[in-house]
Amino acid sequence: MKAAKIPTPELMTSGHLACQGCGATQAMRFALKALGPKTALVLPACCWSVIDGPFPHSSLKVPIFHTAFEAAASTASGLKAGLEMRGDTETVVMAWAGDGGTFDIGIQALSGAAERNEDIIYCCYDNEAYMNTGIQRSSSTPVGAWTTTTPVPHYKRRPKKKMIEIMAAHSIPYIATASVAYPQDLIEKFRKAREIKGTRFLHVFAPCPTGWKLAPELSVAMARQAVTSKVFPLVEVTDGGRTWRVWKEFEPTPFKDYMMAQGRFRHLTDAELVGLEEEIERNWQYLLSKEKMSIVPGLDAD
C-alpha cells in the first residue's frame, strides 16, 4: 500500500447535512483532496444529494450536476463530452453514486459508459443499503443484514453482488476498492485514477452509523475492521481487468467483532456467523487466486 501525503486544502467545508460519523462524507472529503479543484461532480439521487446542502448553499467547492437516480454514468459521459467540445480537457468528471445507484438502478448506464470506455471517474460510495430513503436493502447489502425491507427474521439471504468482477469484465483501465479508514491509500488511488484516460471505477467502503445501528464514533474503526477481517478487501485491477492485486499486509482481526459491533447483524447466531465467515474466507481465497493467475511479467504497467 502506497501512502500518499494528505493534501491540506479542503474542497469540502463544514456545514454539510450528513449524520454524525457518516463514512460517505469522509470519502468525499478525501476524494476531492486527491482530485483537486478542477473536478466536476455528477450526483444521482442518494444521501449525497442531501448532504451537500439546499441550493444555493453547498458544502463543496466544486461544481455539481444533480441528475436522476439511474443516470449518473450517462450524465457524466455527456458532461465530459460537452467540456471537451468547449476545449476543456483538464477538468475531471466524476460520477459519485451510492450502492443502490450503482449496483442496482444505475448499472445499465454504468455498463454502457464502461463498455464505451468513457473518460470519466465513477465512484460508488458503499454504505450497503438505500440509506437516503430509509435503509432498504440493495444488491450490495451483505448477507445476514437487517434492513427495513429485510426485517428479522427475514434478514438478507442473498450475497453481496461482486461489483468489482462485473467492472473487470468490462476491460476498463483502472478499478480499485478503497476505505475511509485508509485515507492515504484512498488518496493515492484517486490520484492514480486522475492520471488515467478512460473509465476508472472506484468502490469506497463508507460506513453508515444510522443504517448499520452503529455508534457514530465507531465508523472509522468499522471501516478498518471490514478490511482486516477480509469483509472488504482492498484490491486494484489494472491492465484492462487482467492484473489483480490484493492488499494483505494487515493484522487480521476477528470477523465476529466486526459483525457484533453493528446492530444490523446482532440477531445472527454463532452458527450463522461461522457460516458467513467461511464464505468470507472463500471469497478471499478466490481473490488471491485471481492475483496469482494475473501476474504476467511485462504486462503490469504500474
Ligand X SMILES: Cc1ncc(C[n+]2csc(CCOP(=O)(O)OP(=O)(O)O)c2C)c(N)n1
Footprint of ligand X (CB under 6 A): 24, 45-47, 69-70, 97-101, 127, 130-133, 138
What order do you get walking across the sheet with 243-246 strand by strand?
64-66, 39-43, 92-98, 121-126, 200-205, 174-179, 235-238, 243-246
Residue 98 sits at φ, ψ, to 5 deg, of: -80, 180
Kindly state whether residue 185 participates in binding Mg ion, applying the rule CB under 5 A. no
Kindly state whether residue 109 participates in binding ligand SF4, applying the rule CB under 6 A. no
Q: Which does 69 bind (CB under 5 to 8 A by kind): ligand X, Mg ion, ligand SF4, none?
A: ligand X
Nearest approach in angstroms of CB 131 to Mg ion is: 5
CB burial of residue 50 (10 Å; 0-12, 13-18, 19+):
middle
Kindly state whether residue 140 participates in binding ligand SF4, applying the rule CB under 6 A. no
Residue of 37, 32, 43, 104 whose CA lies nearest to 73: 43
**Span between the terminal Cα atoms of the chain, in Å:** 13
- In the list 28, 31, 32, 47, the residue contacting ligand SF4 (rule: CB under 6 A) is 47
Q: Are strands 64-66 and 39-43 parallel, antiparallel or unpaired?
A: parallel
Residue nearer to ligand SF4 on the CB measure, 12 or 280: 12
Could you say which residues in the range 217-276 bind ligand SF4, by CB under 6 A? none
Kindly state whether residue 28 participates in binding ligand SF4, applying the rule CB under 6 A. no
Q: Which does 133 bind (CB under 5 to 8 A by kind): ligand SF4, ligand X, Mg ion, none?
A: ligand X
Residue of 186, 228, 235 whose CA lies nearest to 32: 186
Q: Which does 40 bind (CB under 5 to 8 A by kind): ligand SF4, Mg ion, ligand X, none?
A: none
Residue nearer to Mg ion on the CB measure, 118 or 126: 126
Q: Which does 75 bind (CB under 5 to 8 A by kind): Mg ion, ligand X, ligand SF4, none?
A: none
Residue 121 sits at φ, ψ, to 5 deg, of: -100, 135
Residue of 43, 236, 37, 240 whose CA lies nearest to 123: 43
Residue nearer to ligand SF4 on the CB measure, 27 or 234: 27
Residue nearer to ligand X on the CB measure, 131 or 259: 131
What would you measure as the largest C-alpha separation in the chain, in angstroms?
A: 60
Q: Which does 123 bind (CB under 5 to 8 A by kind): Mg ion, ligand X, ligand SF4, none?
A: none
DSSP class of 265: G
Site map 204..223 versus ligand SF4, x via CB under 6 A: ----xxxx------------
- In the list 11, 42, 45, 51, the residue contacting ligand SF4 (rule: CB under 6 A) is 51
Give the dihedral sign, CA 261/262/267/271: negative
Kindly state whether residue 102 participates in binding Mg ion, applying the rule CB under 5 A. no
Give the dihedral sign, CA 99/101/104/109: negative
Residue 97 sits at φ, ψ, to 5 deg, of: -130, 155
Nearest approach in angstroms of CB 88 to ligand X is: 28
Residue nearer to Mg ion on the CB measure, 39 or 49: 49
Nearest approach in angstroms of CB 193 to ligand X is: 20
Could you say which residues in the range 124-183 bind Mg ion, by CB under 5 A? 127, 131
Contact residues for 257 (Cβ-Cβ < 8 A; gap 6+): 225, 229
The residue ranges that bind ligand SF4 (CB under 6 A) are 18-19, 22, 24, 47, 51, 127, 131, 208-211
